[in-house]
Amino acid sequence: MNVVLLEPEIPANTGNIGRTCVATGTTLHLIKPLGFSLDEKALKRAGLDYWQHLDVRVYENFNDFLEKNPDASKKLYLATTKGHHVYSDAQYDEDAYLMFGKESAGIPEEILLDYEDQCFRIPMNPQIRSLNLSNSVAIVLYEALRQNHFASMQLNGELHRLHWNHPNE
């Protein structure tokens, strides 16, 4: 699975998204310009000690991303409040590219128009402009992973029973 951030502006959001990508085995693609440096403290703080394990790739612009990932255009899903489809109705391939725009403006319309049938939205109340970027990525990414049966992810936890006295005993 792939998460693509087009011109992200807020380091804490990208750090949180990076941590989610490590937890899910997802590649993070960052398309410049970035609103921060990749060695910025806020980015590393949000990503905790997971950032070193992240598969992150950086591109000069959207065309550079497409040139270096030729299969992406057929497997690209663009998150936008202008999308005609709901994110949960899309059928995600296990190597889908989930694209999100910058926090202040989203994905430019010239890109959206080229991929109109691949645009989707997260439903929300009409008076709300948008959700936080890292929350949006988590919502859509986990739906895509769910559809692919959480391939290669740990699915079972284990409770460790401690012996303690219950107040009613």
User: Can you give the pLDDT at residue 37?
Assistant: 82
**How confident is the model over 39-62, as pLDDT tens digits?**
767 666 655 577 788 999 999 999
Instruction: Reply yes or no on whether the pLDDT at 120 is more than 90.
Output: yes
pLDDT at 134 over 90: yes
- The token pair at 52 is 């070193």
**Residue 33 exposed, middle or buried by CB count within 10 Å (0-12, 13-18, 19+):** exposed
> How far apart (Å, rounded) are the C-alpha atoms in residues 90 and 86?
7
The whole-number pLDDT of residue 53 equals 87
- Residue 6 has φ and ψ, to the nearest 5°, of -90, 110
Is 17 within any annotated ligand binding site? no
Q: Is 101 annotated as a binding residue?
A: yes
Predicted structure pTM score: 0.89
> 91 by DSSP, 3-state: which?
coil
Q: What is the tens place of the pLDDT at every residue in 84-116?
A: 999 999 999 999 999 999 999 999 999 999 999
Whether residue 36 is predicted with pLDDT greater than 90 in this model: the reply is no
Q: Give the type of residue at 134.
A: S
**Is the CB of residue 53 less than 8 Å from the CB of residue 25?**
no
- According to the model, what pLDDT value does residue 104 have? 94
Domain ranges for the chain, please list them: 2-147
CATH homologous superfamily of 2-147? SPOUT methyltransferase, trefoil knot domain (3.40.1280.10)
Determine the pLDDT at residue 155. 79
Half-sphere CA count of 35, side-chain side, radius 13 A = 17
